[in-house]
Amino acid sequence: MNSHDNSELQAAAERAKEPEVPVQAAAGKQQPSTGSLGLLLRDFLVVLALVVVIFVFLYQPVRVEGTSMLPHLEDHDRLFINKFVYRFTAIQRGDVVVFHYPRDPEKSYIKRVIALPGDRLRIDRGDVIVNGRPINEPYVPEEYRDAKSMSEMTVPAESYFMMGDHRSISSDSREFGPVARDLIYGKAVFVYWPTRDAGTVN
């Protein structure tokens, strides 16, 4: 073996002693490429656009006018209503809904659903009795109750009996009768302004 071969072997031995650099560590030191940042920005914009589209088509901002839904909704509160929820779920007793006023469809009212189609309803000195049983109404504080009575009636098919939470001042189905289903166009979901009132509508 000549000296040239010895030098080659020595060089190979030196290379064998060099530590290997872990692949993951080397990759971790690389800076994100401009292309990767562009993809992230694109994905963010797509998601943002989808959120905006869903929000615009599903929800509508409305403003409360009047005090018939005190203490939960105040005059000039601004809230979002869900315009599509009742295409997939049934209207429930206790829901707070927005509907076209039966006597003037150009106006909108916001009230609470008290009785459903086919329910027997009467009011005895302020106590609401549905299908023979008084209903629990924790949303009506004692100071907002009244002592009015109403003879028993059966809510017509495809109609709903509405009442305001501030019973002593509310203009509702006790005055203008049950509200037809096709006049109801949204469920109150969330108060967003003023911030002191912000929260879900119950």
Indicate which residues carry an active-site annotation.
Answer: 68, 111
Task: Provide the sign of the torsion angle of the four alpha carbons 111, 116, 117, 120, taken in this order.
Answer: negative
Q: Residue 18: CB partners within 8 Å, gap ≥ 6? A: none
Cα 15 from Cα 88, distance rounded (Å): 71
Taking the C-alpha atoms of residue 93 and residue 130, their distance in angstroms, rounded to an integer, is 11
Q: What are the residues whose beta carbons fall under 8 Å from the beta carbon of 98, sequence distance 6 or more? A: 62, 81, 108, 109, 110, 184, 185, 186, 187, 188
**DSSP-assigned letters across all residues of 100-121:** EETTEEEEEEEEEEEE-TT-EE
